[in-house]
Chains A and B, each alone.
Chain A
Amino acid sequence: MTRAEFMSRLKKGLVGMPTSAAAEVLNDYEAHFDDGLAEGRSEAEVAAALGNPDRLARELKAEAGIRRWHQEQNPSSATAAILAVLGLGAIDILILLPLLMSIVGVILGGYAAALGTFIAGVILMVAGPIAGAPGGPLAAILAGLGLMAASVTGAALLTVLTIWLVNGVVWFARLHYRLLKPALEPQVA
Chain B
Amino acid sequence: MPEPIEIQLKKGVLGLCVLALLARDDSYAYEIASRLSDAIDMGEGTIYPLMRRMQTDGWVETYLVESPAGPSRKYYRLTDAGRRALEDQGREWRRFAKAVDDLITEADTPVPATTDTQEGGAAQ
Q: Are A31 and B48 in contact (CB under 8 A)?
A: no
Q: Which residues of B contact A86 (CB under 8 A)?
A: none
Q: Does A35 contact B (CB under 8 A)?
A: yes
Within 8 A of B (CB), among A138-176: 174
Chain B contact residues: helix, strand, loop or mixed: helix
Tell me whether A111 is interfacial, beta carbon within 8 Å: no
Chain A interface, DSSP helix/strand/loop, else mixed:
helix
Contact A182 B10 (CB under 8 A): yes
**A186, B48: Cβ atoms closer than 8 Å:** no
Answer whether residue A137 sits at the interface, using C-beta atoms and an 8 A cutoff: no
Q: Are A182 and B3 in contact (CB under 8 A)?
A: yes
Q: How far is the CB of A27 from chain B (nearest CB, A)?
A: 8
CA distance A53 to B37 in the complex (A): 18
Task: Collect the chain A residues with CB atoms within 8 Å of residue B53's CB.
Answer: 63, 174
Q: Which residues of A contact B49 (CB under 8 A)?
A: 56, 59-60, 63, 183
Closest-CB distance, B32 to chain A (whole angstroms): 11
Partner-contacting stretch, out of A64-72, A100-108, A112-120, A128-136: A64-72
Against A, the Cβ 8 Å flags (1 = close, 0 = not) of B28-41 are: 01100100010000
Indicate whether A25 reaches chain B with its CB closer than 8 angstroms: yes
Interface residues in B78-123 by Cβ distance below 8 A to A read none
Is A36 part of the binding interface, using a Cβ–Cβ cutoff of 8 Å?
Answer: yes
The 8 A CB mask of A3-28 against B (1 = contact, 0 = none) is 00000000000000000000001001
Please give the residue numbers on chain A whose beta carbons come within 8 Å of chain B beta carbons, in ascending order. Answer: 25, 28-29, 31-32, 34-36, 46, 49-53, 56, 59-60, 63-64, 66-67, 70, 174, 178-179, 182-187
7 closest Cβ contacts across the A-B interface? A50-B45, A51-B45, A59-B49, A35-B30, A51-B43, A182-B11, A49-B44
